[in-house]
Structure 1
Amino acid sequence: MNRNRKLAALVGAGVAPMIALSLPASPAGAHGYVDSPASRQAQCAAGSIECGDIQWEPQSVEGPKGLTSCSGGNEQFSELDDDSKGWQVHDVGSSTDFTWKLTARHATSTWQYFAGGQKIAEFDDGGAQPGATVTHNVSFDGLSGNQKVLAVWNVADTANAFYACIDVNVGG
Structure 2
Amino acid sequence: MLYIYFCLLSIPVVIEAVNISYHHGFVSSPKSRALLCQEHINKNCGDVQYEPQSVEGPKGFPLYGPMDGKIASAGVRRFRQLDEYDTENNSSRWNIQHIKFISTNETHVQQTFTWEFTARHSTTVFKFYLSNQNYTTADLLTRSVLNTNPFCEKDLMGSKPNRTISIPCFIRIDDLIPFTKTAGVILSTWDIADTTNAFYQVIDFIATIA
Q: Same fold (TM over 0.5)?
A: yes
Partner of 1:135: 166
Counterpart in the other structure of 2:57: 63
CA distance in 2, matches of 1:58, 1:45: 7
| Secondary structure at the counterpart of residue 36 of structure 2 | helix
1:92 corresponds to 2:100: yes
Deviations 1:25-65 (A, max 9, x none): xxx95410001111001100101112111000110000001
Larger helix percent: 1
Paired amino acid for 2:208: G
Q: Which range is displaced more, 34-43 or 141-150? A: 141-150
- Which position in structure 1 is the counterpart of 2:195? 158
User: How far is the alpha carbon of 1:170 from its aligned partner?
Assistant: 2.6
How far 1:97 moved relative to its partner?
1.1
Paired letter, 1:138: C
Residue type of the partner of 1:42?
Answer: L
Conservation of the 8 A alpha-carbon contact between 1:92 and 1:168: no
How many Å separate the matches in 1 of 2:47 and 2:30? 21
The 1-side partners of 2:98 and 2:80 are apart by 22
Cα distance in 2, alignment partners of residues 35 and 130 from structure 1:
15
Q: Which runs of 4+ in 1 moved over 2 A?
A: 86-92
Does 1:124 pair with 2:155?
Answer: yes
What 5-or-longer segments of structure 1 have no aligned partner? 1-27
Q: Which residue of 2 aligns with 1:54?
A: 48
Does 1:36 find its partner at 2:29? yes
Larger Rg: 1
Amino acid of the residue matched to residue 89 of structure 1?
Q
**Residue 45 (1) aligns with residue 38 (2):** yes
How many Å separate the matches in 2 of 1:83 and 1:135?
A: 29
Percent identity over the alignment is 35
CA distance in 2, matches of 1:100, 1:57: 15
Aligned length: 145
Instruction: Give the alignment's TM-score, normalised by structure 2.
Output: 0.65
